[in-house]
Amino acid sequence: MGLWEAVRGRARPRRNDLDALFHVPSAAITLQTALGFEPTGQASVCYRPAAGAAFAQAQADLEGLLRDAADAPEVTVTRDDFGFTWLVVTGDPADVAGLCTDLHAVNTTLELNGFAGSLLCSLVPFADAAGRRFGLTYLYKQGTFYPFAPTGDQERDTLLELSVRDLLDKELPMEPDLQRWLAVWKAPGL
């Protein structure tokens, strides 16, 4: 924190680092060995759609980019109750690196086309043998991760979320401010 930020009582926000998504495959191994959570084979990017032909073209280009790959994942686009769009890629659960590459491509494409302000988060869901689920959520504007573990329509497993945070704290840039751990109810894969 610089002097001016200290005087104003504000810290600089953490800069976005999309390359942090490439650390998720390593974190997935840690989650498998330590807690028994496996990747589900889905991953998604959540964003607020913009009006206009430029955004529609960028979204169409994204879908084409993902679907035209040699080992193309299944790509679906859905809208949630809050008006956000979820671009969901479904592939081989063992290929977390491929899913994270797809997430990176979606985020980067929207960013390069001038729609960075529309990006909310990216999500990689995990599940264990008991049926518990959580999404490893990347906050685009913060450049940090947090786990979100819904257990019902409006309930979450805070103990599981804190356990995952503590386990992955050395592998991923985890969000320290719990108030930023947004509840992404009805997110695809959860």
Q: What's the pLDDT at 6?
A: 54
Tens digit of pLDDT at every position of the chain (190 positions): 555 555 666 555 446 789 999 999 999 999 999 999 999 999 999 999 888 888 888 888 888 878 777 777 888 899 998 889 999 999 999 999 999 999 999 999 889 888 889 999 999 999 999 999 999 999 999 999 999 999 988 999 999 999 999 999 999 999 999 999 999 998 998 9
Rounded distance, CA 32 to CA 189, Å?
18
The SS3 of residue 41 is coil
Rounded distance, CA 93 to CA 39, Å?
6
∠ CA 62-174-50, nearest 5°, is: 30
Q: What's the pLDDT at 61?
A: 83
Q: What's the pLDDT at 81?
A: 87
CB distance 16 to 140 below 8 Å = yes
Rounded distance, CA 111 to CA 72, Å?
22
Could you count the other beta carbons within 10 Å of the beta carbon of residue 110? Answer: 24
Rounded distance, CA 76 to CA 89, Å?
7
Rounded distance, CA 132 to CA 152, Å?
11
Dihedrals phi, psi of 114, to nearest 5 degrees: 85, 15
Rounded distance, CA 106 to CA 104, Å?
6
Rounded distance, CA 139 to CA 132, Å?
22
